[in-house]
Amino acid sequence: MSETTMQRDVIATLDSHFQQRKQQVPLLAQRAEAEGITQITSREDMVPLLFPHTTYKSYPESLIAKGQWATMNRWLDSVSAHRVTDVDVSGVTDVDGWIEALEAAGHLVSSSSGTSGKGSFLNKSRRDREANMQNMIDGLTEMGLPPERTWHVIPVGPDTGQSAHVAMRDMIIDKYRRPDGIPLFEGTPPTGHHRYMARLQAMRRAMADGTAAPDEIAAFEAEAQARAAEQERRLHHWADHILARPDERVFFNSQFTQLFRLVEILREKGARDGDITGANALTVGGGLKGNTLPDDYQEQIFRMLNIAPERFFHYYSMQELNLRMPRCLGGRYHVPDEIVLFVLDKDGTKLAEPEGDTVTGRAAFFDTTVDGRWGGTISGDRITVDLRDCPCGRSGPTVLPDIARFTDLGDDDKITCAGTMDAYVRGFIEE
């Protein structure tokens, strides 16, 4: 297929999704009307229609503080493809209850923890969750780790209790864990994850401005210490079982911060690099979540746990996407056919200009598998894309590994259209 034909097919696909979703997503219809866009005829046409990542936290914080859950329904409805205004929230008392009510009605809301600010809420359907989980299996299979129940499976944790995390954990256990696998950690089931994270955020603010009462600080610190102690017990459970069978294969599902702590515990128990000889595998979700680790933390983890590069499923993704961009052994991230990649200028207003064979700018995407929302999003990431075929042999542009958040670069993560989109959303809430 020629490049012109491929481009024409991409535009036709984008327009097909646009024509359907503008009938379903109120915010998209408003934005398209304001911009005078009735059809997608080029990649440039899509840029004003991509939603800034901040759109999914554009609700007034006062709605949650005051428990105005019916209004939160209206807000979520404005950015959703499936109506949520009729979800019963009469018995809801906090964010966790709101999400449970939405899930009971088939809206599998994905939510960030909000540790550094307001949390995001994205409406996802069962089709979205199925696409996301199948994509995980497909990615693992492609790198040589097909679903075979021949592994010990260790979901390192912590357990947030969020249904999306639980569903992914349970799927990996179901597909990969051997019948006599390492027993799962039986701790205290987590409750009120979002309530706790909201309290954490509020307490940090109160302590910063000096308004936190001593008894409030003491009560919160006690809860935080109890949660940390639970995770320590979890990690010691895994460490003991690893040391009891050092030559048997383990599939780790983790975040790097927790995995590094597991390595520290193994060392505390006397383990040294080379003691664990099973051909172990790893998939990692999320970044460091604001934690600081040594520069060589990955190398320390891989040495201790005997994880080779070909058994490490690493990818670039975000909660706005169903699909992942897997990293090849050359260290580059490959964009699947179902995702259309855009590289925008820093303000998110236009396509960035290439410099030779590369283009650097703000990452934006259209995920054609997204069902519960509009599939177009502008991220907070700065990326560099190589427009040539990858040295690994696969064709097509690749995202280079030097991905950075604009906020981490000391830049203002300001997307020009974000304020306008927030104003649209306020209009929907106030109607």
DSSP 307-368: EEEEEEE-EE--TT-SS-EEB-TTS-EEPPTTEEEEEE-TTSSSBPPPBTTEEEEEEEEEET
Residue 347: closest CA among 93, 48, 57: 48
Residue 267's pLDDT is: 98
Enumerate residues 6+ apart whose C-beta is below 8 A from 110: 121, 122, 124, 164, 319
- Output the pTM of the full model: 0.90
Highest mean pLDDT among 111-115, 371-375, 400-404, 427-431: 371-375
Residue 379's pLDDT is: 95
Kindly indicate the confidence band of residue 258, based on its pLDDT and cuts at 50, 70 and 90: very high
Residue 286's pLDDT is: 61
Residue 5's pLDDT is: 45
Residue 287's pLDDT is: 61
Place of tokens 């299996």: 137
Residue 69: closest CA among 105, 93, 50: 93
Report whether 252 contacts 259 (CB < 8 A).
yes
Kindly state the average pLDDT of the residues 163-170: 90
CATH T-level topology, domain 127-191+231-316? Rossmann fold (3.40.50)
Enumerate residues 6+ apart whose C-beta is below 8 A from 394: 328, 334
What is the spatial distance between Cα 85 and Cα 61, in angstroms, rounded to a whole number?
Answer: 19
List the chain domain ranges.
Answer: 3-124+322-430, 127-191+231-316
pLDDT, tens digit, 9 for 90 and up, residues 8-47: 699 999 999 999 999 999 999 999 999 999 999 999 999 9
Least confident of 8-17, 32-41, 106-115, 119-128: 106-115
Residue 418's pLDDT is: 87
Q: Is 161 left (phi over 0), alpha (psi -120 to 50) or beta?
A: left
Which pair of structure tokens corresponds to residue 99?
A: 């999400």
DSSP state of 156: -
pLDDT, tens digit, 9 for 90 and up, residues 47-78: 999 999 999 999 998 898 899 999 999 999 99
Which pair of structure tokens corresponds to residue 26?
A: 């109120």
What is the spatial distance between Cα 219 and Cα 86, in angstroms, rounded to a whole number?
Answer: 37
Q: Which amino acid is at 381?
A: D
Q: Is the peptide bond before 146 cis (omega within 30 degrees of 0)?
A: no
Place of tokens 């009729």: 86
SS3 376: strand
Least confident of 37-51, 102-116, 160-174, 262-276: 102-116
Q: Say if residue 4's pLDDT is above 80.
A: no
Least confident of 81-90, 198-207, 223-232, 264-273: 198-207
Q: Say if residue 115's pLDDT is above 50.
A: no
* Helical packing angle, 95-104 and 69-78, nearest 10°: 60
Strand partners, 71: none
Q: Which amino acid is at 310?
A: E
